[in-house]
Amino acid sequence: MQATSYTYDPETRSGSVLLDDGTPVEFGTAAFDAGGLRLLRPGQRVRIETEGAGAELRITLVTLQTF
């Protein structure tokens, strides 16, 4: 799934993304670390992996979108 980086805190390595429908979803340190990234800037397109649905949606991986 693709999303757009919305917020990122380099101290906690956590933040949030906006899904393509505009829904904000937060991600934790574990999801950021799983993607191997060192930095994330607002507006970057990212690829995310999730589990759950609706209010239980949880991001398990954040990485840069590649073509």
pLDDT at residue number 67: 64
pLDDT at residue number 54: 84
Q: What is the pLDDT of residues 1-55, one digit of tens each?
A: 999 999 999 999 999 999 999 999 999 999 999 999 999 999 999 999 999 988 8
What predicted TM-score, i.e. pTM, was given to this entire model? 0.90
Q: Which pairs with CB-CB distance under 8 Å and at least 24 residues apart come from 30-39? A: 30/60, 31/59, 31/60, 31/61, 31/62, 32/62, 34/60, 34/61, 34/62, 35/61, 35/62, 35/63, 35/64, 36/63, 37/62, 37/63, 37/64, 39/8, 39/10
